[in-house]
Structure 1
Amino acid sequence: MEATPPWLRDALRFALTATASTKAPWWAHDYDAFKAAGGGDLVDPDDPGKDPRFRKLVEAILFSRRFLNTYNLVLLGVLLIFTVWHWSEKIVLHRRKRRIASTTKGDDETAHEEEAEAWSSSSSTIEGNATPPDTTAAKKIKEADETSPLLPSQRPPRVTRSVVWRPYYKLKSVLQYQPRPIPVVNKTLPTNAVSLLVLAWIGLNIFYNLYRMPLSFMYLFVFADRCGIIFITNLPLLYLLAAKNQPIKLLTGYSYESLNIFHRRVGELVCLEAFLHFLGMVAVWYGMLRHLGFTLARFIFNRVVLLGLAALIAYELIYFTSLGSFRKRWYEIFLGLHIVLQVAGLVFLWFHHHTSRPYVGISLAIFLVDRLVYRMWLKSSTHPATLEILEDDETLLLSANWEVDTKKSAVLAKNMTQGWKPNEHIFISVPSLSRKHGIQSHPFTIFSAAPTTSTQDGQGRHAWFSLLIRAQSEPGFTHSLLRHARASPNPTTQLRIRLDGPYGSSHALDLLESSSTAILIAGGSGIAVAYPLLYALLQPSPTDPESTFRSQRKVKLLWITHSLDHRLWIPEDKLKELEDWGLDVLITPPTALAGRPDAGGIVREWVEEEDVHGNARSGVVVSGPDGLVRDVRNTCAELIWRGRHVDVQVEKFGW
C-alpha cells in the first residue's frame, strides 16, 4: 500500500487491530487540551497522526467499536424482560391449575355420580362426524322431558368485558392474528406479535448501522467497517439460537424450535451485513485506492481481503442452501453443508480480522459444546427398534422399549434412557441404512405417551417409544427408511437406532392443564403431537384410578385426516381408552373425500358452548399444515377480541 497517502494507509491498518479498549494513536490529552483552549486541528504533514482526516477516521472507527459494545447489553435487557414475563406466566398457570384442582376436590361426591353424563363422545352438532357414535348423548335425549329444547342455542350471548380490560383483549387479539401469506411468493407470515418483535430487532440494527454516521464518501470506509462489526457482534446470537441445548429455554421457556424463526432472521441479517461490508470495501477501492495505482487483483488477493471474501462466500452459501425450496428438496445436503460451512466461516473470520476473534471464539464454543458435548455424548442413546409399514403403505411406525434409568443424574442433561415428557421430540439416526445416515439426524415428534413419573409396586418405569413417520418424496431419509422396510421379508424390520434428545417445551401442556376446556386440533400426522398431550391430561393417577372422572376440565380433540387409512394410525382400543377417560373426540370425514372441514367454526362452537357465561377459560393447541394453523389461530384471535378467555399454542409441524 505504498502508493496510498500515509494518513489513509495508517487508518486502514488501525481498523484491522483496533478494539473498544484501543486508545487513539496520538497524545489524546494534549490534543483535547488544545481543542478545549479554542485551538484548531493539529496539522503537520510530516506526522499523519496529526492529519485531521486521519483523526476523523480513527475517532469514527473507535466510536463504532465502543458503541457496538452496548448492543449485547440491549439484547441482555430484552432477554431479562422475557425471562420475567415467562416466570410470571408460569406462576399464573400454576395458580390456575391449582384452582381447577381445588374445584375438582370439592365436587368429588357429585362428580362420580354424573361421570356418565359429564363426558360425551362428541358435542358437535355436525351430523355423522362423531367417532364412535355418541351413545351417551343418545341416552341424554332419551331421558330428557318434553320441556327440554330440541336443539341447544347455536350461538350464546355475546360476552362483554369491563371497559378497563377491553383494550387488553383488543391488543391481545391483534397480536395473536396471523396475516395471509405473501402473494406470488406464498411466504407464510408469523403472528403480528412475532413480526413486530422481528421488526423491532431489525430497527435496532439499522439504528446501530446509522447512528453518528456522516453521509460523505470519506466515511464510506467507516460505514463498511461498522457493517462488519455488526456482522460479528450478531454471530454469538446466531449460534445460540441455532443450538439445541442453550440457556434461553430455561430462562424464557422457548425451546430452540420456537426460536427458529428468529435464528433465520438473524442469519439473513448477518449475511446482508457481510455483503454490505464487502460492497463498502470494494467502493473504497474503486473511489480511493484505484486512483492511487492499487489494482483490483492486488486488492482482492490481499491476505485480509481474501480471507474476508472466503468467509463471505461461506455464509452466503449457508443462506442460499437454507432457503425452504432447497432445504425441502435436499435436506441431507442442507444439513451437511450447514455444519461444514459454519466451521469454515468461523475459521476464515478468525484470521480475517483481529476484532472478530472474541465473537468467533464464543460462537465456536457454543457450536462445539452443543454438537459434541451434548448432542453426541450427554443426550445420545442407542436402542434396538422395530419398523412396521402401516395400512396406507406410505407411513411407518418405528417402535422401541426399554427400562427407564431412574438412578442416572440429570443435572447436566437428560437423555432418552431417562424417559421424556409429553410433546417432546428427538433427532434420530439409523446407521444400518448407510454410512451417511449414521452421521445424519432427523427430527420427529414422539408419538407415544410419556413414561409415568411415579413407580408402581416398587418396580421401575418402562418406556414404550414410537414414532409416526410419513414417507416423503425421493430422495430423503424417510423414503430410504420406507424402502428398507419394504425390502425386509418380515412384516416388522429389526434395526438399531441412535436417539438425540429429548427436546421441546412444556408450555402446551401447562396451558392445557390450566384451562377449564382443553382443545387439541390435529391435522394429519399432527396427531403425534396431540396424542401424548391427551394421554397426560386424561390418564388416571396410579393412586386414584377415578381421578380423571372427577376432573372439571373438558378435553376435546378434532382430528382431520386425509384418507381413511390414516384413521388407523391410532389403534381403536387406544382411542377407546382415551374416550373412557373422558375425551370428547371428533374425527371429520377424510379431506380426500369430503374436502377440508371448517376447523375454525368447530373451535368457535366448542369454546362458546363451554363458555356460556363468559367465565370459562379455554386452552387450544394446534399442530398441522400452515392453512389449518392460521385458521385456528385467527379464530382464537376473533374470540379474544370478543372478550373470551382463550389461549392458543401452535406446535411445530415439520422443520
Structure 2
Amino acid sequence: MTSGWLPSGTGGKDESREYLERLIYYILHGRVVASWFNYVILATIVVFSVIHWRQKFRDAQRRRILAKPTGNAPGVNICRSSKHRKLLSDDGSGDDIPSSSSSSTLVGKTDDTDVERQPLLGHRTATNPASRIYWSRLSRKLRAWLMYQPRPLPIVNRHLPANGITLFVLGYISVNIFLHLYDGSLLPKYAFPFADRAGYIFIVNLPLLYLLAAKNQPIKFLTGYSYEALNIFHRRVGEWMCFEAVVHSVGMVLDNIFFEVEWLRVGNFWDFFFHPLVLLGIGAFVSYELLFLTSLGSFRQRWYELFLASHVTLQIAALVFCYLHFWTARPYVLASLVIFVADRLVWRLVLKSATIQADLQILEDGKTFLLSADWNVPQVRRRWYQQLFGQSIVHGWRPMDHVFITVPSLGRTHALQAHPFTIASAAPGSGSQEQTTHAWLSLLIRAHDGFTGDLLRHARLNSTVTVRVDGPYGSADALEMLLASDTAVLVAGGSGIAVVFPMVWDLVHTHGHISKGRHIHLLWVIHSRSHRSWMPQERLDELSSAGVHVTIPEPTVEVGRPDVGGYVGELSCSALQADTEIGVVVSGPDALNRAARNACASAVGQGAKVNLRVEKFGW
C-alpha cells in the first residue's frame, strides 16, 4: 500500500517504511491518548459531585439540629485585637467588633447549653496520639493555604485567585501537557504528529469550554458551583485552548517548511497554505484567537457591548470552521453546538425569558439607579421539566440569583445584548404570606459607559421601561452553608449589598426557626454617604430589630478603608473559642474580598471551623 510513497533502494525503503509506520502510529495513538481527557473530566466531576452532596447532606443534618428548640446559643467572649479599626454601627454610635454583650442574636443571650450538640459519652479527656495531632495540624495548615489569596502581581497589578483555585488550574494544565507528550516524540522529523496532537487536545477541550460558559448546565446541580463561580475556569480553559491552537498552527507550518521529508512533500508551501483544509483551519484559528483577545479583562471593561456581540458571532463562525476543518473534530463540535444552542435558545429564550414593565428611580449620587417591578406570583404547579430546568423570573427567584436584562427601546445596538445584574431585593417567600404570592424585583445599577450609561440617560427622561429578563440564575450553596453555621457573617463592599442583603433577609424571615439563637452579622462598607440611599433605611432597621448586628463604617472616602480582616478575624476567633462553626459570605471589590478571605484562612490555620463563599464582581 505504501510502496509507491517510498524512495528507491532497499535500505531506503526499509528506513522509510519504519519512519512512515512510526509517523502513523504517533498520529493515531496521539488521538487516542488525547481522548483520555474526557475520562479525566468525567472523573473530576464525579469527585466534586460526591464532595458536594456529602457536604449538602451534612448541612441538612446540621440545619435540622439547629432548628430544634433546644434553647438559645451560649454567649461568647470574642478575643480582642488592638489592630482593627474602630467601626461605626448602623445607628451611628461608636462600637468595636461586637462581643457577647453587644453582638445580637435573634432571641438574646443565655447560658443554656445545646444538648443536641454534646457527645453522648461526654468530652474525652485522654490526650490524642501525637500522630493524630500532627495530621490534624497539617490538615488545618493545608486548608488555610488553599484558602489564602496572594497579593496582586506587582507592576502589571494582576489579581491572583486563591491558592486552591490556582492549584486546580495548574492541575488541569498538567493533565493537558501529559496527554500532549505521553508516548510521543519531540524529534523534529515527527513535528507533524506533535502538532496534530495539539489540535486534538484543543478539540477535546471544546465541549468543556462551552459547558463552563453555559448558564444552564448540569455542573451546577452536581457540584453546587454556579455559572459565575465556574467562569474563571471557563477563561483558563479558553486561554489554554488558544495556546494549543498556536502550537498546532505553528507546528504544521514549521513541519511543512523545515521538517517534512522530501518523499512525502506534495507541492510547495503556497500549495500547502491555500489548501482548503488549511484555509478552514486558519479560519478557526483566527476566530478563536479573536475570541481570546476580546475576552481579556481590559477589553471587556472598555468595550463590553462589542465583547458580547463578538462572543456570539465568533463562536458560531469558529464552530463552523472547526466542523469543516477535519472530520475527527466533528463529534466534539456537534456536542459543543448542542450545548450552545440548548443554552442560548431553548432555556434562555423560551423557558427562562420574560418581558416586564419596570420603574426607574435615580438615587442620591446621580450615577446609580434602581430598576424595579412587582407582580403577583403565579400559583400553579410546576411541571417536571420546569422543576428540573427552572422557570422565568415571573415565578420567583432565590437569594443571590442574578438575571440578564435587555432593553430593546434603547436602540438596535442594545436589542440583542443581555447584561447581568444581581437581584437586590428579597426573594418571594421571604417573610409574610403576602410576600409568598407577590414579587418585588429590584436591580441596583451603577452607570458606566455603554448600556448602563444609556439606560441612565433614559431614566432621566422616562420613569418606566420595557425590559426583557433572562433568568434567574445562581446557586443556593452559600445560603445553605450559612443555614448550617452557628454564626453567619455577611460582608458587602459598595453595591455588593445587592448580593448579601437578600441572603440575610432570607435568613431572618424565611428561616427564622433555624436561625433562632444564633449570631448574624452584616458589615456594609460604603465609599460615600450618598451610597446609603442604595438600601432603604427601614430595611436595615427591620434587620436590626430582628436581631441582626448591622455594622456600617464611616465612608472610605472620609476615613479610609476599615479593617475588614480584623472584623472577620475576631468573629472567627470567637467561633474558635466556642468550638462552633462560622459561615462567611463576602461580596465586593477584589481588595475587600482578599482581606476577608485571608482572615478566614488565618482562622482556619488556627483551628477555627470556617466556611467561606466569595462572590466576586465581574463577568
Whether these two folds match at TM > 0.5 is yes
- Whole-Å Cα distance in 1 between the matches of residues 47 and 576 of structure 2? 36
Given residue 477 of structure 1, which amino acid in structure 2 is its aligned partner?
A: F
**1:150-193, CA deviations, whole angstroms, 9 ceiling, x for partnerless residues?**
xxxxxxxxxx9955522221111011001111222111111111
- Report the alpha carbon displacement of residue 460 of structure 1 after superposing the two structures with TM: 6.5
Q: 1:164 to 1:653 in 2, by over 3 A?
A: same
Deviation of residue 290 (structure 1)? 9.6
In the TM superposition, what is the alpha-carbon distance from 1:256 to its structure 2 partner?
Answer: 1.1
Contact 1:604–1:636 (CA under 8 A) maintained in structure 2: yes
Query: Which residue of structure 2 aligns with residue 131 of structure 1?
Result: 90
Q: Distance in 1 between matches of 2:377 and 2:510?
A: 20
| Aligned positions of 1:611-622 closer than 5 A | 611=575, 613-622=577-586
Cα deviations by residue, 1:16-44 (Å, 9 ceiling, x for unpaired): xxxxxxxxxxxxxxxxxxxxxxxxxx989
Distance 1:511 1:531, change over 3 A: same
Give 3-state SS (helix, strand or coil) of 1:78's partner: helix
Aligned to 1:462: 438
**Aligned with 1:597 (options 562, 584, 593):** 562
Contact 1:7–1:54 (CA under 8 A) maintained in structure 2? no
2:239 and 2:616 map into 1 onto residues whose CA distance is: 21
Q: CA deviation at 1:8?
A: 8.3
Change (3 A) 1:444 1:54: same
1:572 aligns with 2:549: no
Distance 2:296 2:338 in 1: 26
Question: Quick one: structure 1 residues 285 and 405, their matched pair in 2 at CA, closer, same or farther if it must change by over 3 Å?
Answer: same
- Kindly report which structure 2 residues correspond to 1:290-309, keeping only aligned pairs within 5 A, or say none: 294-309=267-282
**Separation of aligned partners in 2, 1:5 and 1:570:** 80
- How far off is 1:221 after superposition? 0.5
Partner of 2:461: 487
TM-score (norm 2): 0.87
Question: What is the 5 A alignment of 1:208-287?
Answer: 208-287=179-258
Deviation at 1:288, TM superposition (A): 4.7
Shift of the alpha carbon at 1:597? Answer: 0.9
Tell me if the contact between 1:427 and 1:443 (Cα under 8 Å) persists in the aligned partners: yes
Counterparts of 1:90 and 1:6, CA distance in 2: 65
**2:610 alignment partner, SS class:** strand
Please list the CA deviations of residues 330-376 of structure 1 after superposition, one character each: whole Å capped at 9, or x if unmatched.
00100110110111011011111011111111111111110000111
State the alpha-carbon separation in 1 of the partners of residues 498 and 134 from structure 2.
Answer: 42
Q: Secondary structure at the match of 1:588?
A: coil
- In 2, the alpha carbon distance for the partners of 1:208 and 1:6 equals 34
Three-state SS of the structure 1 residue aligned to 2:185 is coil
Q: In structure 2, how many angstroms separate the alpha carbons of the residues matched to 1:256 and 1:326? A: 21
Are the aligned partners of 2:49 and 2:223 in contact in 1 as well (CA < 8 Å)? Answer: yes
The 3 A distance-change label for structure 1 pair 56 and 289 is closer
Matches of 2:250 and 2:86 in 1, distance apart? Answer: 64
Q: Secondary structure of 1:356's match?
A: helix
Alignment of 1:635-654 (within 5 A): 635-654=599-618
What are the equivalent positions in structure 2 for 1:323-472 lying under 5 Å apart? Answer: 323-407=296-380, 408-409=382-383, 410-411=386-387, 412-452=389-429, 456=433, 461-472=437-448
| Runs (5+) with no aligned partner, structure 1 | 10-41, 142-159
Give 1:101 deviation, angstroms.
1.5
- Tell me if structure 2 keeps the 8 A contact 1:430–1:438: yes
Q: For 2:178 and 2:6, locate their aligned partners in 1 and report how far apart those are by CA, in whole Å.
A: 27
**Does the aligned pair in 1 maintain the 2:360–2:459 contact within 8 Å?**
yes
For 1:7 and 1:485, locate their aligned partners in 2 and report how far apart those are by CA, in whole Å: 73
User: How much has 1:436 moved relative to structure 2?
Assistant: 2.2
- 1:630 pairs, out of 585, 594, 617, with 594
Structure 1 residue 55, shift from structure 2 partner? 1.4
Higher RCO (Cα < 8 Å, 6 or more apart) = 2
How far the C-alpha of 1:619 sits from its partner, in A, is 0.7
Asked if the contact 1:455/1:461 (under 8 Å) is kept, the reply is no
Question: What does residue range 145-156 of structure 1 map to in structure 2 within 5 Å?
Answer: none
Give the partner amino acid of 2:317: A
Q: Distance in 2 between matches of 1:358 and 1:314?
A: 19
SS of corresponding position for 1:384: strand
Separation in 2, partners of 1:575, 1:510: 22
User: Does structure 2 retain, via aligned residues, the 8 Å contact 1:406–1:460?
Assistant: no
Residue in 1 aligned with 2:120? Answer: none
User: Any conservation in 1 of the 2:87–2:552 contact (CA below 8 Å)?
Assistant: no
| Separation (CA, whole Å) in 2 of partners of 1:72 and 1:195 | 21
Aligned residue for 1:67? 33
Deviations along 1:265-288, one digit per CA (max 9) or x if unpaired, are 110111111111111110111015
Could you tell me whether the CA contact under 8 Å between 2:90 and 2:552 is conserved in 1?
Answer: yes
Residue aligning to 2:467: 497
Counterpart CA distance in 2 for 1:334 and 1:5 is 53
1:488-518 alpha-carbon deviations (Å, 9 max, x no partner): 3xxxx11111111111111110111111111
**Does the 8 A contact of 1:603 with 1:635 survive in 2?**
yes
547, 572, 587: which is aligned to 1:607?
572
Greater Cα radius of gyration, structure 1 or 2? 1
The CA deviation at 1:53 is 2.1
On the 8 A contact 2:150/2:160 being kept in 1, the answer is yes
Give yes or no for contact 2:576–2:608 (8 Å, CA) kept in 1: no
Gaps of 5+ in 2: 103-127
1:166-185 matches, cutoff 5 A: 166-185=137-156
C-alpha distance in 1, partners of 2:510/2:436? 18
| AA matched with 2:465 | L
Q: Residues 456 and 629 (structure 1 numbering): CA distance in 2 closer, same or farther, change over 3 Å?
A: closer
1:186 has 2:152 as partner: no
Residues of 1 paired with 2:37 and 2:171: CA distance? 13
1:547-586 aligned at under 5 Å gives the runs: 547=513, 551-586=516-551
- Structure 2 counterpart SS, 1:596: coil
Contact kept, 8 Å, 2:576 with 2:607, in 1: the verdict is no
Aligned to 2:122: none
Q: Is the 8 A contact 2:358 2:464 kept in 1?
A: yes
Q: Report the residue type matching 1:294 in the other structure.
A: G
Q: Kindly state the Cα deviation for residue 437 of structure 1 after the two structures are TM-superposed.
A: 1.5
- Alpha-carbon contact 1:249-1:256 (below 8 Å) kept: yes
**Residues 540 and 296 of structure 1, relative CA distance in 2, 3 Å threshold:** closer
- Per the alignment, residue 292 of structure 2 pairs with 319
Q: Distance in 2 between matches of 1:283 and 1:135?
A: 70
Identity of aligned residues (%): 48
Q: Distance in 2 between the 1:92 and 1:178 partners? A: 27
Question: Which stretch shifts more, 399-408 or 258-267?
Answer: 399-408
Q: Tell me the distance in 2 between the aligned counterparts of 1:340 and 1:394.
A: 32
Preserved CA contact (<8 Å) 2:87 2:94:
no
1:49-86 Cα distance to aligned partner (Å, 9 max, x none): x9222211112212112222221011111111001000
User: How far apart are 1:128 and its partner, in Å?
Assistant: 6.5
Give the RMSD, CA atoms, in angstroms.
3.0
Distance 1:286 1:403, change over 3 A: same
Give the match's secondary structure for 1:258: helix
